[in-house]
Amino acid sequence: MREREPSVHPVDSTVGPQGGLPMTDSSNAYADAHEPMARGALGAWWWQGARSAFLFKPDWAGLQTTPGIIACLVLVPQMLGVLVERLYIEGAASFYWPTLQMGWLSTAIAIWVCWLLVPRSRDDIAHRPASAAALFAMMAAQVLTISTVLALVFVPMVRGGAFSPAVLGRWGWWTVWLLAVGWVAVAQLALVWRSSTGRIAPKALATALLVGTIALSHWFAPTHHWYPSAPQSAEASAEARTEPFKLTQELIELQPQLLAAKLKGIGRGRPGVVNLFAITFAPYAEEDVFRRESKLVAGVMEDRFDAAGQSIQLVNHRDTVREWPWATPLNLQRAIQRVGQVMNRDEDVIFIHLTSHGARDGALSAEFWPLSVDTVTPQMLKTWLDDAGIRYRVISVSACYSGSWIQPLSDTGTLVMTAADSDHTSYGCGKRSELTYFGRAMFDEQLRHTWSFERAHAAARSIIAQREREAGKSDGYSNPQIHVGAQIRDRLARLEAQREAAAAR
């Protein structure tokens, strides 16, 4: 795998969701102010937070912590961060609301560190916080200043194309990013060390926890709040809906029958030839693009690779609940088991296309409210394929950060192709998108002119790169990946020769 590059968004808050970066320290320059600070006023907190962000000691005298003040100190920078993140994307973008529920472990760690380090006696109220709540509030207050300054620097750089390895060079790009992260880390650690008393051991433990939280939250950030969208088509515009999906008893009882019928409909292939069995999996119901892509890819497999009667779609979408089984991990496992039962495992190939939002850890997003759907990971998929005894596999993953699927699935009998590498988002997965850029280029265009997955993927890469540049994709080329094992390459060569011969007749 290629070396990882961090996210283009250099700053998140350690005291808020998405984990991230801490705040800074204190000095007593406020003591000579002509007028006393208003007790509990948010402005006083923002001012002292700004001072500590630039490594001055804050003046704690007169600062009051109330639930309302702490809530404002935490939530205002988070809302600002969501708005700033939107500015990184030119053109249409989709808001991924489940992100608001993620990343709060860093907040819990920050609160615990504050409790661990705060002085137990109020020996110098101008130089020490009165409580753990006060120290946590100052950490939160720093975020507003740091986030604002870095947004003023990075938003113009990203929008202007200056924040990229192509412009800055690889080491220059890393240096700029690390300076931003380093500022946040130094600021928070300085605040913690200056604002606490006592033994070195608790301070060292707090330092390790905070630095670890910063590193992990930026290295493994699960998702962004915003994702770029392709231009909206007339068909997509007409599909806007206002009424929520209703999960009725009728639909619940229908699903097992539908699944059983579709699995039974997967028939055996013809003897003496390489048959392709196809499964498409679209677990994210909130965007129509995944349903459309599932249908498109299934159609291409049936038309081009003779998979009619040997394919199944698993889809989470309100429009398909009476047509196709739900896209759940258990249904996918059952579909794989069925294919393993009817295929010739020494000859035939299984093709699986998964399309959804993706996370850096490989988890494929699943959403079908009010139904609760678990995510699928590459490790789960490999286990199911191994248990079914399926030797020859073509796996296609159309999702952000989908390059993380390559290594867990790679072996001599597997071709794995993805819409992006493990460090970048893919494109065209929003509410306004008709198809993802990968789905369109790979399946709707290239595989209609060749039976080679390798050649189609190679051609799709250059097409996707050009379209992403034209669309103004802000976080860099998605960089689709592919791995081809030696045994699956031979098997697919036979399949390609069969299809060419059939087309010539």
Mean pLDDT of the chain: 79
Q: What is d(CA 389, CA 344) in angstroms, rounded to the nearest whole number?
A: 10
Q: Regarding predicted confidence, which is higher, 7 or 500?
A: 500
pLDDT at 289: 87
The whole-number pLDDT of residue 468 equals 86
Residue 289 · residue 222 · CB < 8 Å: no
pLDDT at 36: 43
Average pLDDT over residues 142-147: 86
Q: Taking the chain, what is the end-to-end CA distance rounded to the nearest angstrom?
A: 42
Taking residues 454-469, what's their average pLDDT?
91
The answer on pLDDT for 312 being more than 80 is yes
pLDDT at 457: 95
Per-residue pLDDT of 74-91, as tens digits, reads: 888 888 888 888 887 777
Residue 460 burial by CB count (10 A; 0-12/13-18/19+): exposed, middle or buried?
buried
**206, 117 Cβ separation under 8 angstroms:** yes
- pTM reported for the whole predicted model: 0.58
- How distant, in Å, are the alpha carbons of 17, 97, 239, 394 from that of 224? 11, 10, 25, 29
> pLDDT value at position 92?
73
Q: Could you tell me which residues come within 8 angstroms of residue 502 by beta carbon, excluding any fewer than 6 positions away? A: 306
Strands 311-315 and 276-282, by their bridges, are parallel
State the DSSP string of 95-147: E-GGGGGS-THHHHHHHHHHHHHS-SS-S-TTTS-SSHHHHHHHHHHHHHHHH
| pLDDT value of residue 62 | 76
What pLDDT score was predicted for residue 128? 60
Is it the case that residue 197 has pLDDT exceeding 80?
A: no
What pLDDT is attached to residue 16?
A: 53
Of the two residues 239 and 477, the one the predictor is more confident about is: 477
pLDDT at 102 over 60: yes
| Ranges 163-172, 265-274, 300-309: which has the least confidence | 163-172
Is the pLDDT confidence value at 279 over 90?
A: yes
pLDDT value, residue 166: 55
> How is residue 388 written in tokens?
């079914």
pLDDT higher than threshold 90 for residue 365: no
SS3 371: strand
Give the closest residue to 7 by CA, choosing from 83, 72, 88.
88
- Categorize the per-residue pLDDT at 232 as very low, low, confident or very high, splitting at 50, 70 and 90: very low
Contact 23, 191 (CB under 8 A): yes
